[in-house]
Amino acid sequence: MARMGYGEEHEAFRRTVRTFLDREHEPYLKHYEAAGGLDREFWRKAGQAGLLGLAHTGGGDFTFYAIMSEELGRTPGTATTGSSLMADVATYILVNHGSDAQKDKYLAGILTGAWTQAMPLTEPSVGSDATAIATTALRDGDDYVINGEKYFISNGSGANLLYVVAKTDPSKGGRGMSVIIVEADTPGVSQAKIPMIGWRQGDTGALNFDNVRVPASNLLGVEGGAMKILMDTFLEDRIQIAARCLGAASRAFELTLDYVKERKVFGQRVIDFQNSQFVLAECRADIKITETMVDTAMIKLRNGEFTFEDGAILKLWATQMEGRVLDKCVQLFGGAGLMDDNPISRMWTAARIQRIYAGTDELQKVAIARGLMQ
């Protein structure tokens, strides 16, 4: 059945993403695990397949990113290798806020996978309250000098193009925050991978900036403009996360349905027990509700009607839904669902990340509650 709000070009792109992941990701999962994550060759192939720089090549239609995120969620191996291609959402920052010179310098390489991106914002002691960051980028003649630490950064250890959020005027708090482009091989930049219980071969990084000197022309947008840039990306980020949750829950449900139709207990299939049928019905309802929410969000985003509260509600619901569905799927698998070589076990573990990163459940509730108090 055709999804609401998707045209033929969107469905054609979905098939392209699915084909790429089936060909270039799943068969090489053991290789990526041994290598410690996705390599440059994967990014190069993604560029050849037309999966990078969609903010530029897709005419700014975020639907393409949502489709890619959903298909990543449907790929069991991404429970091990992490958000991967979704780091390319950072291209929206460059396209919407970068200067012509910055676009000329970086966009072509982004499209081929030569440049891979990350947005270092979170710090070791600063999570949801972005305005509390301590990293500084202080003007010194024609340069900015950056000092500070960043932590829990998606694509952080492997990215070679960094959009660093720092305070160019610490006295102004959030209004003194700016985004500075830093190439990762700049002297003073160090990157390291953070081991995680979910996305074990994913790229979650820690970065350190020790007197990193970059030209003032690397300022993205205007000084003090970081909060506007961040707010402009939050809405899209909420949708892509929800789409990934939808894809993961859908795939887990399919794997579980196949399993319970084959597995027998006390002489009958697991699916023949009424309890199993009720659990599966609950999962099916959760998934269909979330599908409608994601598709509606895409339509509202295109129409300029998707609000910050809408994004908070969507992320809160979708991430909790994924957790519920994956937990029920593991229960129906029984002991087999806890085996490390069973995809469902890794998908279950990875689902827990979604309720924490990119804004915790509690932060989404605060955003929703603020609207009620006006």
Asked if residue 3 is part of any domain, the answer here is no
In this structure, the answer to whether residues 94 and 167 fall within a common structural domain is no
In this structure, the answer to whether residues 231 and 211 fall within a common structural domain is no
Radius of gyration of the chain (CA): 21
Asked if residue 2 is part of any domain, the answer here is no
Portion of the chain with pLDDT greater than 70, in percent = 99
Structure tokens at 40: 């440059």
pLDDT digits (tens, 9 = 90+) for 131-178: 899 999 999 999 999 999 999 999 999 999 999 999 999 999 999 999
Q: From CA 308, how far away is CA 47, in angstroms rounded?
A: 31
In this structure, the answer to whether residues 247 and 142 fall within a common structural domain is no
Q: Determine which of 4-13, 204-213, 226-235, 312-321 has the lowest per-residue pLDDT on average.
A: 226-235
Last residue of a domain, one of 209, 224, 239: 224
Task: Kindly tell me if the per-residue pLDDT of 271 is higher than 60.
Answer: yes
Whether 147 contacts 209, CB under 8 Å: yes
In this structure, the answer to whether residues 108 and 181 fall within a common structural domain is no
In this structure, the answer to whether residues 104 and 240 fall within a common structural domain is no
In total, how many domains does the chain have?
3
CATH of the domain at 277: 1.20.140.10
* Chain-centroid distance, C-alpha 309: 19
pLDDT digits (tens, 9 = 90+) for 326-338: 999 999 999 999 9
CATH of the domain at 53: 1.10.540.10
Q: Please give the mean pLDDT across all residues of the chain.
A: 94
pLDDT digits (tens, 9 = 90+) for 64-118: 999 999 999 999 999 999 989 998 889 999 999 999 999 999 999 999 999 999 9
* Chain-centroid distance, C-alpha 279: 29
Last residue of a domain, one of 89, 112, 135: 112
Whether 146 contacts 176, CB under 8 Å: no
Q: What's the confidence (pLDDT) of residue 43?
A: 95
Asked if residue 1 is part of any domain, the answer here is no
In this structure, the answer to whether residues 174 and 247 fall within a common structural domain is no
Q: What's the confidence (pLDDT) of residue 231?
A: 85
What one-character-per-residue DSSP string does 212-266 give? EEEEGGGEESSTT-HHHHHHHHHHHHHHHHHHHHHHHHHHHHHHHHHHHHH-EET
Give me the residues paired with residue 137 across strands. 146
Task: Kindly tell me if the per-residue pLDDT of 246 is higher than 70.
Answer: yes
Asked if residue 329 is part of any domain, the answer here is yes
In this structure, the answer to whether residues 99 and 151 fall within a common structural domain is no
pLDDT digits (tens, 9 = 90+) for 208-241: 999 999 999 999 999 999 999 988 888 899 999 9
Asked if residue 76 is part of any domain, the answer here is yes
Q: What's the confidence (pLDDT) of residue 1?
A: 57
Asked if residue 17 is part of any domain, the answer here is yes
Give me the residues paired with residue 189 across strands. 209
Which residue segment(s) compose the domain that 233 sits in? 227-372
Q: From CA 98, how far away is CA 104, in angstroms rounded?
A: 10
In this structure, the answer to whether residues 310 and 328 fall within a common structural domain is yes
In this structure, the answer to whether residues 153 and 212 fall within a common structural domain is yes
Last residue of a domain, one of 66, 86, 112: 112
Per-residue pLDDT, averaged over 337-363, amounts to: 94
Classify residue 136 as left (phi > 0), alpha (psi -120 to 50) or beta. Answer: beta
pLDDT digits (tens, 9 = 90+) for 341-350: 899 999 999 9
